[in-house]
Amino acid sequence: MTDKNQPLVSIVIPAYNVADYLDECLESVVSQTYANLEIVLVDDGSTDDTGVKCDAWAKKDIRIRALHQKNGGLSAARNAGILHCNGEYLLALDSDDRIKQDLVRKCVSSLEDSSADLVHFGYSSITESGAHVNNHPDPEAEGDELLLLILSNKLQSHSWQFLCKRSLYDGILFPEGRKAEDLATTYKLISRVGSSVTIPDCLYEYRTRKGSILAGATSNPEKAVRYYVDELLAFHEMIQWAKSTGRAEYVRAAQNSMVRHLFLHYKAMLAACSEEGIEWVSNRLSEELKNIDSNSLEGAEKKKAAMFRNGSLAFCYRFDNALRKTAKQLLRKIRRVSK
Q: How far apart are the C-alpha atoms of 195 and 153, rounded to whole Å?
A: 20
Give phi and psi for 223, each to the nearest 5. Answer: -65, -40
Residues near 268 by beta carbon (within 8 Å), at least 6 away in sequence: 214, 217, 218, 221, 224, 277
Say what angle helices 248-272 and 144-152 make with each other, to 10 degrees: 30
In sequence order, what are the residues at sequence separation of 6 or more whose Cβ sits closer than 8 angstroms to the Cβ of residue 66?
A: 41, 43, 51, 54, 55, 57, 58
How confident is the model at residue 115, as a pLDDT?
95
Which residue ranges of the chain lie beneath pLDDT 70?
Answer: 1-4, 209-218, 339
Helix axes 275-290, 248-272, angle to 10 degrees: 160
**Span 23-61, pLDDT tens digits:** 999 999 999 999 999 999 999 999 999 999 999 999 999
CA distance 219 to 208: 17
pLDDT for residue 336: 78
DSSP 8-class letter at 99: E
CA distances from 30 to 22, 50, 55, 270 (A): 12, 17, 15, 46
Q: In the 8-state DSSP scheme, what is residue 282?
A: H
Residue 150: in which H helix or E strand, if any? Answer: helix 144-152
* Cα gap 309→220, rounded to integer Å: 27
Q: Give me the pLDDT at residue 1, please.
A: 43
φ, ψ of residue 90 to 5 degrees: the values are: -140, 140
Cα separation, 62 vs 100, whole angstroms:
21
Mapping DSSP to helix (H, G, I), strand (E, B) and coil, where does residue 109 land? helix
Give dist(CA 164, CA 117) in Å, integer: 6
69 contacts 77 by C-beta, under 8 angstroms: yes
Whether the Cβ atoms of residue 140 and residue 70 lie closer than 8 Å to each other: no
Q: Which residues contact 319 (CB under 8 A, 6 or more apart)?
A: none
CB 33 within 8 A of CB 6: no
Q: Are strands 89-92 and 162-165 parallel, antiparallel or unpaired?
A: antiparallel
Q: How far apart are CA 45 and CA 71, in angstroms?
A: 4
> pLDDT value at position 18?
95
Question: Which of 94, 253, 82, 106 lies closest to 168 in space, CA to CA?
Answer: 82
pLDDT in tens, 240-275: 999 999 999 999 999 999 999 999 999 999 999 999
Mapped onto helix, strand or coil, the DSSP state of residue 300 is helix
- Tell me the helices (H) and strands (E) count for the chain, helix number first: 11, 9
Name the β-bridge partners of 102: none
Single pTM value for the model: 0.92
CA distances (Å), 152 to each of 167, 235, 257, in order? 25, 11, 5
